[in-house]
Chains A and B, each alone.
Chain A
């Protein structure tokens, strides 16, 4: 399945099911709600063939052995667990969770610079942990770039639980000029600007760099934005460790992200290659946290990057960025 297909794919579960799980969770507690994750896992396993096959192929790479049915079930169960926990994190904050935070001092040192920080996440573990942490530290604003149009049902449900968090979103489905300007405004206020650096949109400029032994496409935009706004890049992972345990990790990655216009591709590739290597190491250690349930490698590579085919509108969704 390609990114375009994945992005066009219906949100799993539907409005009623998500509402039901949320309501059961908030009324009966996390323990009861977690019991329901077992039938949900089985349901997804049998009904979502694309995701099942993508999971198995990925785990085979990451585990270094042929992945079996139990591995795939564990993978889907981890994804379901994190999705459920988003409800509790947003409704009740960190209460009831054991969240280990690593690298906070390093992040704060960069924030003290006052010029903003680009927090680069990935579809690994839970980004919600970060958003909840930010609520507890209102002195450091967080803006998260997310595509609200991608999971409208989920977005609506979760934002109803925590409107403050919803207000901190820069909606990537807006025109991309608005998005980059909003990121600039956030950086001017010394904010953390968070976005996900592993998944490009259909037709977005991508660079292929080695990832688990084979070139995989990564979006160029986060790096070009960091360079233009002169933002230090800090990697961020909200790893799910099982049970009620999470680890939120901040890892300074690049202080100076300048990408000169001459030799742009080489500079971009160097940054992205290093990022992919770090991401690979993290995912190898926590393979069940990988939540790109599509063929991450063989997605047809957009032709952006080498020779800009250029878009009709300045749009992160459909535009070539290089």
Chain B
């Protein structure tokens, strides 16, 4: 499995905490593994929870009209990259 970057680890921890994923350790989330479906198997309500948690932690909002949402929510890596690019510095 590819190693998580620091930003990915931080996001993984946020996801696990905000979704109460008891059976998943943040380090176990593969950066390129699908967040939705796959072994994690999150759904759109989870996506909403993640979006709320991201906006609280990083101070910017994931938007419904972003045409790239499918890709952004596709993996830990994509979501972490999107956050790093858009969070207020």
Contacts and interface: CB of A to CB of B under 8 A. Distances in A.
Nearest to B19: A261
B37 A310 contact: yes
A181 B63 contact: yes
B4 to A, nearest CB: 21
A91 B49 CA distance: 39
Interface centre among B44, B69, B73 (most CB of A within 10 A): B44
A314 B43 contact: yes
Contacts, number: 81
Contact of B44 (A185, A229, A261, A315): A315
Interface residues of A, number: 29
A314 B49 contact: no
A153 B44 CA distance: 28
24 contacts: A176-B47, A177-B44, A177-B47, A177-B73, A178-B69, A180-B45, A180-B64, A181-B62, A181-B63, A182-B64, A185-B63, A221-B44, A224-B45, A228-B45, A228-B52, A229-B48, A308-B41, A311-B37, A313-B36, A314-B43, A316-B44, A319-B44, A320-B43, A321-B44
A308 B43 contact: yes
Contacts of A316: 44
A7 to B, nearest CB: 18
B46 interface: yes
A26 interface: no
B20 interface: yes
Contacts of B48: 177, 180-181, 184, 225, 228-229
A314 B64 CA distance: 13
A179 interface: yes
Interface centre among B38, B47, B51 (most CB of A within 10 A): B47
A185 B64 contact: yes
B1 to A, nearest CB: 20
A312 B34 CA distance: 9
A175 B20 contact: no
A179 B20 contact: no
A224 B34 CA distance: 22
Interface in A286-322: 308, 310-316, 319-322
A176 B44 contact: yes
Nearest to A180: B48
Given A185-B64, A229-B48, 6 more contacts: A176-B47, A179-B64, A180-B47, A224-B45, A312-B37, A319-B43
Contacts of B64: 178-182, 184-185
A181 B43 CA distance: 13
A185 B11 CA distance: 22
